[in-house]
Amino acid sequence: MSQAATSTSAVHIDLDIAAVDRQLARLDARDRIAWSLAHLPSSQVLSSSFGVQAAVMLHLAGEVAPGIPVVFIDTGYHFAETYRFVDQLTRRLAINLKVYRPRLSAAWQEARHGRRWEAGRAALQAYNRDNKVEPMRRALGELRVGTWFSGLRRVQSASRREIGFIEQQWGRCKVHPIADWGDREVHAYLERHRLPYHPLRERGYVSIGDWHTTRSLADIDDESQARFFGLLRECGLHDLPDKQHHKPA
């Protein structure tokens, strides 16, 4: 099998996703992680953008599954504050960090394609595929991931309002242990464990990605414009293209 095929190959999933979702709904966030570790396909990773409230899932998953690999996609365009936040949390929480990057550097991409994030929706989608989706799919393949934890929450955006506690994406189980948490629960968890928000939160940033497509609330008219100029709601990592429920044959 070629390297490309190996890096993107999926695992076999023979689960009633709807039934598992109902099972997870009866548990708290910590037990959702523990149940998933015991019953869902291995190996497991947590993905993190090290965004505004990232410390919650990093701490929670690390307590339930010490040493779980944490995948961070480095596009080369993160804020300096984000890189320092990654370093800070990695040291404090003893994170098993796995950094994945695009196959081409930021400079080489700009030489080939220009500043795609300024060239409209289609060019921005192509940028996201090259810089976020491809490295994430490569990470899932190289780490032989069967179950992928993510900190998505329903209150974060309209595009996430209907997410389940478990979905199927790219042939993996994707688990959202804090999908039903509101901002109050997030804040209480951070306070209880003395964990920090991303430092840019104090400057009005509510969703943080690449510097060129992230805006502070002070600079926009509507929160929907905080990422991708309002042209996109998701970068492609969490579009859940194969969200259908799968049942045993």
Is residue 124 within 8 A of residue 213, CB to CB? The reply is: yes
Is residue 219 within 8 A of residue 238, CB to CB? The reply is: no
Catalytic residues: 235
Count CB neighbours of 107 within 10 A. Answer: 9
Would you state the structure tokens that stand for residue 48, as one six-digit string? 């993190």
Rounded Cα gap, residues 2 and 18, in angstroms: 34
Preceding peptide of 43 cis, ω within 30°: yes
Rounded Cα gap, residues 30 and 152, in angstroms: 15
